[in-house]
Structure 1
């Protein structure tokens, strides 16, 4: 998979959220935190699912719940390795210079 600026941004966000949010990742939260709009984000998440970097499941609906069920994403061990490799590239490659100060 080619590493674009938006993929790098999503990868870094997913890694950060995985550490901080107990692995409870869902699209809207990833979009808000990364600043990547949904039209770019969801195709990337689908590709990550296809590569085996993420697993997904739908939240269970509760009685009286007014919003739609959320689709949660879980980072796999392979995903941690692959997104970790992307994070390493962000730290060294010139094209990602703008992301270096965004993530610790």
Structure 2
């Protein structure tokens, strides 16, 4: 299974999907990303087998007076890979933060 680029945007989408199944607008709201960013990420994650999708039952949507939603969720393997990828990204951020932190005795400019 291929690993997608782990951009901050991809990490934000994965973090939401690790919590629950979600649809596009909800993913956008929860991640803080625009739809134009969300959907290409979902396509990439789907193409590598990390994400699957399903359409909501039309009756449920009709009762709410709206079109059916397309729900996205992590596959079993996608969940495991996303958990590992986010943990690794967090470690990388920690290392970078350590490199950028002022060393003892250094003055700030």
TM-score normalized by the length of structure 1: 0.76
Quote the Cα distance in structure 1 between the aligned partners of 2:63 and 2:72: 24
Aligned positions, number: 91
Tell me, yes or no, if the aligned pair for 2:24 and 2:39 is still in contact at 8 Å: yes
Is 1:79 the equivalent of 2:78?
yes
Larger radius of gyration: 2
Match 1:14 to one of 13, 17, 21: 17
- The match for 2:90 is 91
Residue 29 (str. 1) matches residue 26 (str. 2): yes
Q: Which runs of 5+ in 2 are unaligned?
A: 98-109
1:38 aligns with 2:38: no
Q: Distance in 2 between matches of 1:13 and 1:55?
A: 14
Please give the alpha-carbon distance, in whole angstroms, between the structure 2 residues aligned to 1:91 and 1:61. Answer: 40
Moved over 2 A (4+): 63-66, 94-97
- Please give the root-mean-square deviation of Cα atoms over the aligned residues, in Å: 2.0
The TM-score with structure 2 as length reference comes to: 0.73
Q: List runs of 5+ in structure 1 lacking aligned partners.
A: 19-23, 98-104
